[in-house]
């Protein structure tokens, strides 16, 4: 009887491993909002990592966060290392800057899970302002694929992207309004 149970358990584990291994590795999460501000105002908030603490939900979520900046702000190669009890540890590095159009970022997650993903903020003209898309692409390893059986990346970070874009909208529209009031 114990042999049958052991064989059945081994078969279930093998089947689960096959299901996990055959899950898609690539993922993409993105959210978009329209901000009633000029592209240069929005771009200024995104391309300078020192300004992210005003709208980035991850920095707001962990009061214990410690940030260490590197490189010349702003610019390609500028970075910050973060560490906190709730959000873990990682590094964000600017990899691409196209003024008023795009900011590319390499996101290196160190703990609790190691991963490297690409983040892009794209800005496109839209009625009433600029459409801003925050997107992250990457590849899940075996553990990430296993986790995705229960919760996918879109559900895991999509709400955070929405909160971040809402903060970016609030700050950018306030800056745009202040610039108009000064004129």
User: Domain residues of the chain, as ranges?
Assistant: 25-182
3-state secondary structure (DSSP) of residue 142: helix
Cα–Cα distance for residue pair 84/89, rounded to 1 Å: 6
- The pLDDT of residue 181 is above 60: no
Taking the C-alpha atoms of 39, 75, 156 and 132 in order, what is their torsion angle to the nearest 10 degrees?
10
The answer, as to whether pTM is greater than 0.95, is: no
What the block records as the tokens of 130 is 């600029």
Cα–Cα distance for residue pair 17/143, rounded to 1 Å: 11
- pLDDT at 179 (0 to 100): 54
CATH topology classification for 25-182: Alpha-D-Glucose-1,6-Bisphosphate; Chain A, domain 4 (3.30.530)
Cα–Cα distance for residue pair 31/12, rounded to 1 Å: 37
Query: Residue length, the chain?
Result: 183
- pLDDT at 3 (0 to 100): 82
| Percent of the residues in the chain that have a pLDDT greater than 90, as a whole number | 57
Residue position matching structure tokens 């410690």: 66
């Amino acid at each position: 009887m114990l042999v049958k149970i052991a064989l059945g358990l081994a078969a279930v584990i093998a089947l689960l491993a096959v299901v996990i291994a055959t899950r898609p590795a690539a993922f993409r999460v993105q959210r978009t909002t329209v901000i009633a501000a000029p592209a240069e105002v929005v771009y200024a908030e995104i391309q300078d990592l020192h300004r992210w603490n005003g709208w980035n939900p991850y920095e707001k979520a962990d009061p214990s966060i410690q940030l260490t900046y590197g490189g010349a702000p702003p610019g390609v190669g500028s970075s910050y290392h973060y560490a906190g009890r709730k959000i873990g540890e990682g590094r964000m590095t600017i990899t691409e800057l196209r003024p008023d159009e795009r900011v590319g970022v390499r996101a290196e997650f160190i703990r609790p899970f190691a991963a490297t993903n690409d983040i892009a903020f794209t800005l496109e003209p839209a009625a009433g302002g600029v459409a801003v898309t925050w997107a992250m692409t990457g590849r899940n390893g075996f553990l990430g694929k296993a986790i995705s059986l229960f919760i996918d990346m879109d559900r895991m970070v999509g709400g955070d992207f929405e909160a971040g874009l809402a903060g970016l909208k609030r700050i950018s529209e306030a800056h745009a309004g202040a610039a108009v009031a000064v004129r």
